[in-house]
Chain A
Amino acid sequence: MSNMPAPSPLRIGERSFKSRLLVGTGKYRDFDETRLAIEASGAEIVTVAIRRTNIGQNQGEPSLLDALPPSRFTMLPNSAGCYTADDAVRTLRLGRELLDGHTLCKLEVLGDPHTLYPNMAETLRAAETLVRDGFEVMVYCSDDPIMAKQLEEIGCVAVMPLASLIGSGMGILNPWNLQIIIGNAKVPVIVDAGVGTASDAAIAMELGCDGVLMNTAIAAAKQPVLMASAMRKAVEAGREAFLAGRMPKKLYSAAPSSPTAGLITPGKPA
């Protein structure tokens, strides 16, 4: 093990993390399942949504932040469900107040309710406002290399292109675009949305992504806690494979893995 390099942390702005898996907290059966799945995932950064509180009977109603205390996890409040820059900025400002001035956030401005594809014009506008306002913006975006670059230039601390549509589980549809984005980026590139199973997460990491953010792939698995554990391993395996550097692909091998000499029966002439 002496040749094993120490795993490099994921650096987002001034923060650094051991885990490169970021997870959402939606769609679980209850807070117990949420907590168990997130513990199994090893994630340190968890996304949360900001919504109106129930103003009826609140006594004793469990709260997400009791199950996932902000002292233990890095909260990533999101602007999920917002369709304009103004709504997203307003939501994320409320999230910052809710979390005692915590400036890290996930910006997401959606384009339409059927595909949940990001509206990039509004996303760019919101990113400018939020960065000016002191937020550390991790931004959900299309897998368009120019958009990703512009978001980086605005000052976002991470760009988070989709692998495929939110909640689709379709995996990585355009690895070539992701590679261009990774090649051009000076901030972490985190695949956000579309991962369906462990191999998708591993492929994202093998491409050189700095991390993977997912929710439905874990929460909608038949056994979410087991899938969370699989995702943890997939992200670690993909990262190590990326660092190790894969062998080149060849149509066939002229170099078998076992020695050609010393066969007890002569093979075909060389």
Chain B
Amino acid sequence: MNYPIPQEPAPLQGPGPTLRLTVNGENRTFPAPLTCAGLVDALSLAGRRIALERNGEIVPRSRLADTPLAHADTIEIVVAVGGG
């Protein structure tokens, strides 16, 4: 009997490895590897006054560049808006 040799599934997107994240409740895919600062850049939020939470823990602004993201991380990015 000839059994078929299992094949690796094709990558979801692009030629390189990818990272699936939940960002503000939305599923998003990014090229890996990615840091928190890289994510902020990829979302065009660089230079904006934001706060970022990774899996329920705040990542301080000073640590964004050296905090890597992992597959299936849940990210919240918040800003100040009008309120009473």
A117 near B: Cβ within 8 Å? no
Other-chain residue from A28, A48, A57 in contact with B80 (beta carbon distance below 8 A):
A48
- Shortest B37–chain A CB gap in Å is 15
Given A49-B80, A50-B80, A55-B77, A94-B58 contact (CB < 8 Å): yes
Residue among A48, A65, A98 facing the most chain B CB atoms (10 A cut-off): A98
Q: From A47, A51, A64, give the contact of B78 (CB < 8 A).
A: A51
Q: Are A53 and B84 in contact, CB atoms less than 8 angstroms apart?
A: no
Q: Is there contact, CB below 8 Å, between A94 and B78?
A: yes
Q: Which residues of B contact A93 (CB under 8 A)?
A: 58
CB distance from A24 to the nearest CB of B (A): 3
Residue of A nearest to B76 (CB): A52
B residues within 8 A CB of A78?
Answer: 83-84
The residues in B between 8 and 32 inclusive whose CB is less than 8 angstroms from any CB of A are 23-26, 28
B71 contacts the other chain (Cβ, under 8 Å)? no
> A65-B49, A97-B51 known; A49 and B83 CB under 8 Å?
yes
A75 and B80: CB pair below 8 A? Answer: yes
C-alpha gap A63/B23 in the complex (Å): 20
* B70 lies within 8 A of chain A by Cβ: no
Q: Mark B35-56, 1 if CB is under 8 A from A, else 0.
A: 0000000011100111101001
Q: Is the CB of A55 within 8 A of B83?
A: no
Q: Which bracket fits the contact residues of A?
A: 35 or more
Q: Are B58 and A97 in contact (CB under 8 A)?
A: yes
Q: Which residues of A contact B50 (CB under 8 A)?
A: 53, 98
Q: How far is the CB of B30 from chain A (nearest CB, A)?
A: 12
- Residues in B with CB closer than 8 Å to A197 are none
Asked whether any CB of chain A lies closer than 8 Å to the CB of B6, the reply is no
The number of inter-chain residue pairs (CB within 8 angstroms) is 103
Contact B83 A26 (CB under 8 A): yes
Chain A 68-84 interface mask (CB, 8 Å, partner B; 1/0)? 00000001011010000
Closest to B80 in A: A48
The reply on A34 being an interface residue by CB < 8 A is yes
**How far does the alpha carbon of A53 sit from the alpha carbon of B77 in the complex, in Å?**
6
B23/A55 in contact, CB under 8 A = yes
Please report the C-alpha to C-alpha distance between residue A53 and residue B76 in the assembled complex, in whole angstroms: 9
Please indicate which of the listed interface residues B25, B48, B56 has the most CB atoms of chain A within 10 Å of its own CB.
B48
Residues of chain B lying within 8 A (CB to CB) of residue A26: 81-84
| A80 near B80: Cβ-Cβ < 8 Å | no
CB-CB nearest in chain A for B39: A55
B25 touches A94 (CB 8 A): no
Q: Which residues of B contact A94 (CB under 8 A)?
A: 51, 53, 58, 76, 78
Mind listing 13 A-B residue pairs with CB under 8 Å? A26-B81, A27-B84, A47-B84, A49-B83, A49-B84, A50-B79, A50-B80, A52-B76, A53-B77, A63-B49, A93-B58, A94-B76, A95-B51
Closest 7 CB pairs of A and B: A49-B83, A24-B84, A215-B84, A97-B51, A98-B51, A25-B82, A48-B80
